[in-house]
Amino acid sequence: MKARELLRRRIVYSAHSFAELVLWQLPQPLPGSMHSYKYRLAFVVRGVCVLRYDNEAGKGDHRHCRGKEQAFEFESPEQLIEAFQRDIARYRRENRDA
């Protein structure tokens, strides 16, 4: 099996903010991950990435939020996207610039 792109989408939230979601299914897990998905979900406000979920090789599943990197427990692509959307909603409630 070759790597297969499952999702590539840009969601515009305002004139100053958008989310970009990219999700691939891989033939085997990346080093540091226990599943066969590669992903990058980013929320960008005024040209700055303020929230990102990714699983770069060797680092495993994690998210970047407010300048901090935290481990993230990946369960499924659906759960990943739901968690990302909850974080975007929280950020937008707490920050008028979004």
Residue pLDDT, tens place only, 20-77 = 999 999 999 988 889 999 999 999 999 999 999 999 877 899 999 988 999 999 999 9
pLDDT at 98 over 80: no
For residue 82, the model assigns a pLDDT of 97
In this prediction, residue 59 carries a pLDDT of 84
The phi, psi pair for 80, rounded to 5°, reads -60, -50
Return the H-helix or E-strand segment holding 81: helix 77-94
Task: Give the start-to-end residue ranges of the domains of the chain.
Answer: 4-94
Taking the C-alpha atoms of residue 87 and residue 52, their distance in angstroms, rounded to an integer, is 10
Whole-number Cα distances in Å, 68 to 15, 42, 53, 64: 26, 14, 12, 6
- The CA distance from 82 to 87, in Å, is 9
End-to-end CA distance of the chain: 40
pLDDT of 1 over the 80 cut: no
